[in-house]
Structure 1
């Protein structure tokens, strides 16, 4: 059996609304039609009665009224009644009958419409006073009320037609909405089959380019992005587990060795090595937490940030190799100061690990963007690896050799922060070493004119070597 549709169903709601509207329209049209038909039939009946009354009234004035009075129209009831209420002449249909009405039109209004009803029927009459004289006879002409007016057949017929229209409208709406929603049911059934363990399924695409087809297309694109994100999360979890397992394994081995061979193991060296492993674990965990917070779109407060000052501040913290800084004043961007400090720090730390003798940092304006370039004079990065270094836990052989304690998350985190600030972070060609270029949208000067320090008002371009 087909289940009874619940009113929460779109199909049932639309059908109910369409049925109610069609019922209202059908009732209004039916009432108007009933009134129009009744008025037309009644008006035609009075018109015929008026013609007959006028004809025989003129005949009475001319002294040429036949008896019986012949009739050739629907107004077949004709009587001539004198002042005493006696029927002087009549048509065959009104012969041997009492006067059809006792109403006498006044001299000033000689033609009156009448509806006389008895126990078994109603008559539509026109009363015509022959002359204005006090003793003037009256001609009555009319007919029995048509059955369409005397009964409710017209209302029954209109109601039956209205009911058929309402039923047809309801069925048509039910069928049309059901046919329209067929692709939605297929999409819902397919989505119900999709689980986190299997995101390869896609919803069926209906033909055409209507809203449902656009919905299916959007759902498929969303599923593709979701599948890609889940796969990235799986790879991330797998890689993170591997990266965490390596220092944990080394830490466990050192501790077990210290317990098994207490006399032959340098306890101080073992503790020092264990602390180094703990430091690496802490760095990895902190980077993982930061990466997770960035992925979860955990909002950081944004504010106007003077990028040149930020670069000079971070460059002053680097002491491994000299850092040449060329950063003009008054280069403002809008963002999280803490996160942008992390990006600059990551780029400088990466450059100083690979530099042979010097790191160069420049800040400039170009095409409505603030551009920060960090260049080292090391071996550089091969073009084939320039995208790969921004992936999580990616550490090139050169990086492992120079710093075995890194987490491999610094550049990936920097890229996520940059994208969150609507910027870009790329590795560009350089005559020597690696050139990391950070681009961020410039903040309009009108937004920061009141916030700029007095020292920054002059458009100077400081050069510093740290």
Structure 2
């Protein structure tokens, strides 16, 4: 068997690529939202903690200032820069790390005495500080009302300088997005790998070899169920093709004999002038009729399989009584039916089942055939019973196969096609029913079951 080359689908048509791209897009959006929120939160937290400390240092130093005395500043580790500046911008007193230049030019007003600011002088470090105005009462006692200002601050943390925080968060977000995208690509590829194996195997299966099956795992996930369903479909397809091939072989065999006889008779009439043409035609007619019978039954068999039949309510008891009454020749037929046994189906096809079963029973019966119709739960049951030799248990399914004829059938009906019972079962199955042979003390007992018409 030749194996066709397998071509990979374009990347734009790849489920793996589309899923990965979708996840990457969502990841980028989430990373941006989370990154912005994280940066704002970190900045707010750090600034709030620093300004809380600088405010505390500034207000406590102002609170310690008394009449005629300004205590030394008390810087802390978190607020090491502390200054007292007059209204002309001169440093009155300062902590050891604050220097002799004012930390800020911000001058809070009397109405708004405390400001939190960040000063970034050119070419110098940024300072986060609190500018607090000394209350006018204390200014009047200490400096004859001249405004003085207290600055308490600290160098801006490295995380808040420039865009370092955003850069760090951005780099972390990019790494996380890349990791998540790579993980999605690998995970999706692993999930789709069995599906790709199924696709490759399906591309290798041809009508000439239906024995191959797709790889099937032992799990219960969607891929495992897909593989099992595909293998079950292939099993049914292989069985159907095998049955069709066997059916075609049987049909060819059944048609070969009458066709050979017909051709032989016609060739003899052509080769031997002494043969009467009319007599040759008369001898050929039985073979032609047999072929026509086989072809008609084959067409009915195929039409039943491929074409849905029209359905109508059918009184099964009345139909059985009418068909039994029509059997006026041969072994007598006795019917026994229950009233109002309604089924949904095609009247002509159901009648053909009953007719075929009665003809078959009369052919094998010795004295009498009995047919009955009754309710059996949710089904209507038609039983055709003869008093002949019956059917061996090993042959009870074989007789429903096309062209299968037992020895007794060939002896009693040498011109039969072997399609009657097969057609009957096919009609029963098409009506969601069944047809089988059941045990009986004597003779053959054929039982047809059809769903009762409700409502």
TM over 0.5: yes
| Residue 399 (structure 1) shift | 1.7
In the alignment, is residue 256 of structure 1 matched against residue 267 of structure 2?
A: yes
Q: 1:127 to 1:98 in 2, by over 3 A?
A: closer
With normalisation by structure 1, the TM-score equals: 0.87
CA contact 1:38–1:149 (8 Å) conserved in 2 = yes
What residue in structure 1 maps to residue 203 of structure 2?
192
Cα distance in 2 for residues equivalent to 1:145 and 1:104: 21
| Residue 35 (structure 1) shift | 0.9
What residue in structure 2 maps to residue 442 of structure 1?
452
CA contact 1:247–1:277 (8 Å) conserved in 2 = yes
What residue in structure 2 maps to residue 426 of structure 1?
436
Tell me, which stretches of 5 or more residues in structure 1 are unaligned? 448-466
Cα distance in 2 for residues equivalent to 1:312 and 1:193: 56
Cα distance in 2 for residues equivalent to 1:102 and 1:26: 38
2:357 counterpart (328, 333, 347): 347
What residue in structure 2 maps to residue 318 of structure 1?
327
SS in 2 for 1:7: helix
CA contact 1:105–1:128 (8 Å) conserved in 2 = no
CA contact 1:70–1:92 (8 Å) conserved in 2 = no
| Residue 5 (structure 1) shift | 6.2
2:342 counterpart (332, 337, 340): 332
In the alignment, is residue 393 of structure 1 matched against residue 403 of structure 2?
A: yes
| Residue-pair matches, total | 440
In the alignment, is residue 281 of structure 1 matched against residue 302 of structure 2?
A: no
Summarize the alignment of residues 37-436 of structure 1 with structure 2, pairs less than 5 Å apart. 37-61=42-66, 63-65=68-70, 69=73, 71-98=75-102, 100-106=104-110, 108-120=111-123, 122-133=126-137, 135-265=146-276, 267-296=277-306, 298-321=307-330, 322-436=332-446
CA contact 1:34–1:154 (8 Å) conserved in 2 = yes
| Residue 91 (structure 1) shift | 3.3
Q: Which has the higher contact order (CA 8 A, sep 6+)?
A: 1
Cα distance in 1 for residues equivalent to 2:337 and 2:81: 115
| Residue 227 (structure 1) shift | 1.5
Q: What whole-Å deviation, never above 9, does each CA across 1:27-86 have from its counterpart, x for those lacking one?
A: 22211211111111211221222122123212333544357x563434333332334444
Q: What whole-Å deviation, never above 9, does each CA across 1:252-277 have from its counterpart, x for those lacking one?
A: 12222233334344x54433332222
CA contact 2:83–2:98 (8 Å) conserved in 1 = yes
Q: 1:264 to 1:124 in 2, by over 3 A?
A: closer
| Residue 434 (structure 1) shift | 2.0
Cα distance in 2 for residues equivalent to 1:386 and 1:233: 22
CA contact 1:105–1:112 (8 Å) conserved in 2 = no
SS in 1 for 2:380: strand
CA contact 1:75–1:143 (8 Å) conserved in 2 = yes
Q: 1:102 to 1:11 in 2, by over 3 A?
A: closer
| Residue 195 (structure 1) shift | 1.4
CA contact 1:110–1:132 (8 Å) conserved in 2 = no
SS in 1 for 2:11: coil
Cα distance in 1 for residues equivalent to 2:369 and 2:91: 132
What residue in structure 2 maps to residue 452 of structure 1?
none
Cα distance in 1 for residues equivalent to 2:252 and 2:148: 120
| Residue 7 (structure 1) shift | 3.2
CA contact 2:57–2:74 (8 Å) conserved in 1 = no
Cα distance in 2 for residues equivalent to 1:397 and 1:316: 29
SS in 2 for 1:381: coil
Question: RMSD of aligned C-alpha atoms?
Answer: 2.5
CA contact 1:123–1:145 (8 Å) conserved in 2 = yes
In the alignment, is residue 29 of structure 1 matched against residue 34 of structure 2?
A: yes
Q: What whole-Å deviation, never above 9, does each CA across 1:359-405 have from its counterpart, x for those lacking one?
A: 22111112222111112333332222221111110112222222222
